[in-house]
Structure 1
Amino acid sequence: MKADILAFGVHPDDLELGCGGTLIAAIAEGKKVAVIDLTRGELGTRGSAEIRAKEATAAAEVLGVHARENLGMADGFFEHNEANLCKIIVAIRKYQPQIVICSAPEDRHPDHGRSSKLISDAAFLSGLRKVVTTLDGQPQESWRPAQVFHYIQDRYLKPDFVYDISPYFEQKMKAVLCYGTQFNTTDTSEPATYISNPDFMDVIRARALMFGKRIGVNFAEGYITQKMIGITSFDNIINNVT
């Protein structure tokens, strides 16, 4: 399946938190969206990899994405190496997206920043025809996405642009809450974590409100890009009301 957008998360739930509203909005516009988790989240304090897989499937249904895969890299210990680069290149060439979305360049969880560099490099290498990959025994054609955007995660990073998700914020939160072992839980049978406290949901809402306020809308998600973005019309620029 060819996708317009291919979004990567390190752990199941990263995508929902970082760019879930954007993906829902893109799908509402008729775009094809595929998502890929690099790891199974097996080092997570709460739940298990098997439970996270079921939660990810439920969240994918809420998001409405057209495909979800897991590359099975080692949670916490995946490396920036040829094997992992090739796994991502295969995925990019499989879906041939114009836009790749991935983790923040640096963040509280070291996996996030490490994956950001890994995916950005793979997106470039995917465009080199002498990098040979196969899928189901068949050689793949080279493919380089037009843009790589990095969603902002736990740490505040100044966005290069923000995406209005106001009509889709509650649907995004519904997708996040599919991860019942991770968020908004009062279950004390497992250790409490930074994200398990119900107050963490207020943090997600506050971040979206803050980004939204900067462009005069209710909710938005922030992105960083290393490549300059050009425009052909002023018609779709949201006016800042401040």
Structure 2
Amino acid sequence: MIDVEKEYPQIDVIAVGAHPDDVEIACGGTLAKLVDQGHTVAIIDLTDGEPTPHSPGPDVRLSEAMEAAKVLGVNKRITLDLPNRRLFDSFEARVMLAKEFRKYRPNVVIGFGNRTPMASPDHWQAMQITDAAVFYSRLTKWDETFDHLPVHTIGRQIYYKIAFEPIQNVDAPGTFVHDITGCLERKLDSIRCYQTQFPPKKDYIFERVKGAAALIGSMAGYSAGEQFFTTRAVGTPDMMDLLYPETRDYTERNALKRSSVE
């Protein structure tokens, strides 16, 4: 059995995209904020995104992806050897991604949450591959299939949507908005790294991303936000802590208030 703790650093959160730039557009602000909060973060691109109309080749796209990761501050970026434009949910693709989960042992996996009509069908395939890989990561008695990597149970899985896709709910038990007000510009800067995908004639994309962030954020009272969908209903052991997230010392303050009255 491989000693993954020596070979691979543990990653708190892994975000999975079909192509380089998917994750930045969908949840780049969240990843930047998680890094600022001290969490380790990685991005896994299932394909290299090539060919595309305005890119000279995979090396350039990879360089853009690594620069975008640097802007967000993520700790690691991995590109799997799966085919762009021909990405399908297959056993081999599921195993390939599950191996990465077993290596880096994330607590949270973030991935696509729905189809993207009029956009790449790879996105929907990526969702199915990610769902299966989360499950495969914890399956026992299958050692040879996973190169004898130890099993790993991922605690939480959440879904994202591409930021400028139509705003509609994913069929999921719960949803929440993450405040990215302080990280919106870094999100936009990470997307700008993809000059082959977003040349000057596509500058309108950045206004769409900003508009989506403002709209989503406003649903929860933030200046900018990213929306996520959960595989379980959102629950809390402390209602007041949930209702007043901006004052995490709520309980402590009220305990002091009660003691002063007594």
TM-score normalized with structure 2 length: 0.82
Q: Residue 62 of structure 2 aligns to which amino acid in structure 1? A: A
**Could you tell me which residue of structure 2 aligns to residue 217 of structure 1?**
222
**Could you tell me which residue of structure 1 aligns to residue 131 of structure 2?**
120
**What's the CA shift for 1:7?**
0.8
Q: Residue 110 of structure 1 aligns to which amino acid in structure 2? A: P
**Could you tell me which residue of structure 2 aligns to residue 37 of structure 1?**
45
- Correspondent of 1:55 among 64, 85, 110: 64
The answer (yes or no) to whether the contact 1:86–1:133 under 8 Å persists in 2 is no
- 1:131 is aligned to 2:136: no
In 1, the alpha carbon distance for the partners of 2:211 and 2:144 equals 43
In 2, the alpha carbon distance for the partners of 1:40 and 1:185 equals 22
Larger Rg: 2
More helix per residue: 1 or 2? 2
- 1:199 is aligned to 2:204: yes
- Tell which deviates more after alignment, 154-163 or 175-184: 154-163
In 2, the alpha carbon distance for the partners of 1:205 and 1:28 equals 21
In 1, the alpha carbon distance for the partners of 2:197 and 2:123 equals 17
Q: How do residues 6-17 of structure 1 correspond to structure 2 at under 5 angstroms?
A: 6-17=14-25
In 1, the alpha carbon distance for the partners of 2:116 and 2:224 equals 22
Unaligned stretches of 5+ residues in structure 1: 187-196
**What's the CA shift for 1:96?**
0.6
Q: Deviations over 1:52-84 (max 9, x none)?
A: 101001001101111111002000112211111
- 1:157 is aligned to 2:172: no
In 2, the alpha carbon distance for the partners of 1:90 and 1:111 equals 20
Change (3 A) 1:238 1:42: farther
SS at match of 2:212: helix
Q: Deviations over 1:111-150 (max 9, x none)?
A: 1111111101110121111232577x6x211112111111
**Could you tell me which residue of structure 2 aligns to residue 189 of structure 1?**
none
- Correspondent of 1:148 among 128, 144, 157: 157
**Could you tell me which residue of structure 2 aligns to residue 87 of structure 1?**
96
**Identical columns (%):** 30
In 2, the alpha carbon distance for the partners of 1:172 and 1:225 equals 22
Change (3 A) 1:50 1:155: farther
Change (3 A) 1:169 1:238: farther
- 1:67 is aligned to 2:96: no
Q: Would you say how many aligned residue pairs link Structure 1 and Structure 2?
A: 228
SS at match of 2:200: coil
Q: CA RMSD in A?
A: 1.9
The answer (yes or no) to whether the contact 2:101–2:134 under 8 Å persists in 1 is yes
In 2, the alpha carbon distance for the partners of 1:169 and 1:237 equals 24
Q: Deviations over 1:138-174 (max 9, x none)?
A: x211112111111111232226111110010001111
In 2, the alpha carbon distance for the partners of 1:82 and 1:31 equals 31
The answer (yes or no) to whether the contact 1:147–1:227 under 8 Å persists in 2 is no
- 1:177 is aligned to 2:209: no
TM-score normalized with structure 1 length: 0.88
